[in-house]
Structure 1
Amino acid sequence: MRLRSSLHAAALVAAVLLAAAVTAVALDPYRLVQLEYGRQRLVAGLSADSMRAAGHRWSYAYSDDAPADAPTVVMLHGYTGSKENWYPLARRLHGRYRLLIPDLPGWGASERRDGQDYGYAAQAQRVHAFLQARGVRTPVVLLGHSMGGGIAAVVAARYPDDVRALGLLAASGVRFRDNAFGRDVVAGRNPFGVADQASLSNYLDILFHDPAARPRIPWPASRGFIAHRRHDGAFEQQVLDRIGRGDAALLPGALARRIAQPTLLLWCRQDRVIDPSAAGLYAARIARTRQVLLDGCGHMSLVERPDEVAQAVDALIATAPAAVPAASPPASPHPDRKSP
């Protein structure tokens, strides 16, 4: 009788928890997306935490599971992205390096504050403050993707003591060869905007070339993702106006001649967002570069080709000195067209 009562109580508790979970998802289907992000983080061997720095609360993933002398690899996500974009790569780097992957202020689960500047220079200053506040042993290996690449370039140029080596993956901030994405941005449109199922599909089409790597967002998770992105639409446009066609849109390229650290420039041939011609523009301004051009992938190399990206990062770290050489004199701004 006692066993039967215990089983009945356990079943009742399970039913209550299930009902609560169903209700929570019904009220906010974006929870399904967050649950999937959590699963990916665990698979990548990462822990989660948060802290305050530079006037914002930062959410970040990290791993200290590495040899005592291993460098720290810091990863900065791109426009409309989040720390979760790096998880496939982090899974492949786990155990060899310390890993630190923040949601940049304004994005993901990090704090966003009204009236704040979330352009290249402001975010670079915040990254510098974040590394200091967390007590990271610098210099770090700094990787940046897309907008995060532009921010990483500014960090490397303005805070050279922070950065041992630099990886720019499809980085924005230079005048690349004209494409449909760039024309839309200069015209004041947001080609990444998501407001319904059709625009979500278009967003993924622009980002991904390899169908096998393209994320599948089933209903009702898709409903939650669309609502989340629709809510962020005004903020996204504000940031895109600043980094895509504002006065400082080409700041990363203008500062690139200051970058003395070994630098990886990695692009995919089929990138429809930041045309691969941007790699050559950065290479012409940075003294020590290695260019890697992958085939069969689009803007999201870190998701579409994580094995090849991990190999390129390993090679970058193997050639990076512990000390950072003196930086070159600052370059004057280049009169290029603005790019995101």
Structure 2
Amino acid sequence: MSDRITRTAHRHVDVDGVRVFYRESLPDRADAPVLLLLHGFPSASHQFRRLIDVLGSHYRLIAPDLPGFGHTETPDDFAFSFDRLAEVTDGFVQRLGLDRFVMYVFDYGAPTGFRLAERHPEWIAGLVVQNGNAYEEGLSELARSMLTQHPDNPDAENTLRDLLTLATTRGQYETGVAEPELIAPDGWILDQYFLDKPERQQAQLALLFDYHSNIERYDRWQAWLRKHTPPTLITWGSNDPFFPEPGGRAYLRDLPDAELHLFDTGHFALEDHLSQIAPLIADFLDRTWR
């Protein structure tokens, strides 16, 4: 890591009519290792601000807002699905001219990122996995009950709308955290600001109803991991109520050489364990980037 103060650019790029917002650190070296940061629900690229501040002067960190999140703007007729999120991310990567990077996958960033990896395995220099699930045992009963809802069920929409409330958003930050006073309220307040927009409510419901498509792909992603064996760093919040610890350990079946670190925290592990996770990422990038 570096003690230099990071300069971060905040930009937009058009990808097939989607105005993608992204944050990009401006490192000291033109040939700095590249880390693509894919955020999760219900957040956006702002969840990586502190990580970018810590690592961005030495590494090129790029964090887009996925469609339906943050400052990214979508056309009125955009059809929200995880396939579409991956298509836009694919176009985003190509617009930036990236052809090799380490990919950080978290929550929704995992199904988006693994779809991208299936399309372009040659791009993936390594993986950082933080509570990004790809295994059945990584789904808690709560997650199964929420993420396998079907729109034909008359109560399904009301059930899923509970995930879009301030209480639930705050709970995702604080549940399972040993020291809640380390969690700044800014994250969940900003997340909720975007979730409360009427057009975002429908986008989030569409993605929640489509989540079953990710579970159905787990076998494919596990086969991809076995085939390509990317260097992998796993940093996992053990007390995540949605994606519990077994989901992190499960990666070792297909990637026995992966490095696993478990932390006594919840879903958003960077919020209270940045000081421990950032050095692991820096060391991993230094060892992985060739």
* TM-score bracket for this pair, using the shorter chain length: 0.7 to 0.9
- Residue matched to 1:122: 84
- Residue matched to 1:267: 236
How much does 1:286 deviate? 3.6
Give the counterpart letter for 1:87 in structure 2: R
How much does 1:309 deviate? 1.6
C-alpha separation between the residues in 2 aligned to 1:60 and 1:151?
16
Question: TM-score, structure 2 length as denominator?
Answer: 0.82
- Residue matched to 2:105: 144
Give the counterpart letter for 2:280 in structure 1: A
Q: Could you tell me whether the CA contact under 8 Å between 2:9 and 2:26 is conserved in 1?
A: no
Q: Could you tell me whether the CA contact under 8 Å between 2:176 and 2:239 is conserved in 1?
A: no
- Residue matched to 1:301: 269
Q: Could you tell me whether the CA contact under 8 Å between 1:72 and 1:140 is conserved in 2?
A: yes
Q: Could you tell me whether the CA contact under 8 Å between 1:76 and 1:83 is conserved in 2?
A: yes
Give the counterpart letter for 1:236 in structure 2: Q
Unaligned runs of 5+ residues in structure 2 are 150-155
Q: Could you tell me whether the CA contact under 8 Å between 1:169 and 1:267 is conserved in 2?
A: yes
Give the counterpart letter for 1:241 in structure 2: F
Q: Could you tell me whether the CA contact under 8 Å between 1:153 and 1:256 is conserved in 2?
A: no
- Residue matched to 1:311: 279
Q: Could you tell me whether the CA contact under 8 Å between 1:58 and 1:110 is conserved in 2?
A: yes
How much does 1:78 deviate? 0.4
How much does 1:169 deviate? 0.8
How much does 1:194 deviate? 3.5
Give the counterpart letter for 1:190 in structure 2: L
C-alpha separation between the residues in 2 aligned to 1:140 and 1:68?
14
- After superposition, residues 1-340 of structure 1 pair within 5 angstroms as 45-136=7-98, 138-175=99-136, 176-187=138-149, 188=156, 189-190=159-160, 193-195=163-165, 198-199=167-168, 201-206=170-175, 210-216=179-185, 226=192, 228-230=194-196, 231=198, 232-243=200-211, 246-259=212-225, 260=228, 261-286=230-255, 288-295=257-264, 297-322=265-290
Percent sequence identity over aligned pairs: 18
- SS of equivalent to 2:275: helix
C-alpha separation between the residues in 2 aligned to 1:209 and 1:251?
33
Compared with structure 1, are the counterparts of its residues 254 and 280 closer, same or farther at alpha carbon in structure 2 (3 Å cutoff)? farther
Give the counterpart letter for 2:65 in structure 1: D
Q: Could you tell me whether the CA contact under 8 Å between 1:44 and 1:90 is conserved in 2?
A: yes
How much does 1:93 deviate? 0.7
C-alpha separation between the residues in 1 aligned to 2:178 and 2:202?
27
C-alpha separation between the residues in 2 aligned to 1:217 and 1:60?
19
Aligned length: 272
Cα root mean square deviation, aligned: 2.8
How much does 1:281 deviate? 2.4
Q: Could you tell me whether the CA contact under 8 Å between 1:149 and 1:172 is conserved in 2?
A: yes
- SS of equivalent to 1:79: coil
C-alpha separation between the residues in 1 aligned to 2:233 and 2:195?
31
Compared with structure 1, are the counterparts of its residues 226 and 287 closer, same or farther at alpha carbon in structure 2 (3 Å cutoff)? closer
How much does 1:155 deviate? 2.0
C-alpha separation between the residues in 1 aligned to 2:287 and 2:178?
31
Judge which range, 116-125 or 44-53, deviates more.
116-125
> Which has the greater radius of gyration?
1
Give the counterpart letter for 1:193 in structure 2: L
How much does 1:151 deviate? 1.8
C-alpha separation between the residues in 1 aligned to 2:162 and 2:117?
27
C-alpha separation between the residues in 2 aligned to 1:72 and 1:227?
30
Question: TM-score, structure 1 length as denominator?
Answer: 0.71
C-alpha separation between the residues in 1 aligned to 2:145 and 2:96?
39
How much does 1:212 deviate? 2.1
Compared with structure 1, are the counterparts of its residues 115 and 264 closer, same or farther at alpha carbon in structure 2 (3 Å cutoff)? farther
Compared with structure 1, are the counterparts of its residues 274 and 199 closer, same or farther at alpha carbon in structure 2 (3 Å cutoff)? closer
Q: Could you tell me whether the CA contact under 8 Å between 2:38 and 2:110 is conserved in 1?
A: yes
Judge which range, 63-72 or 84-93, deviates more.
63-72
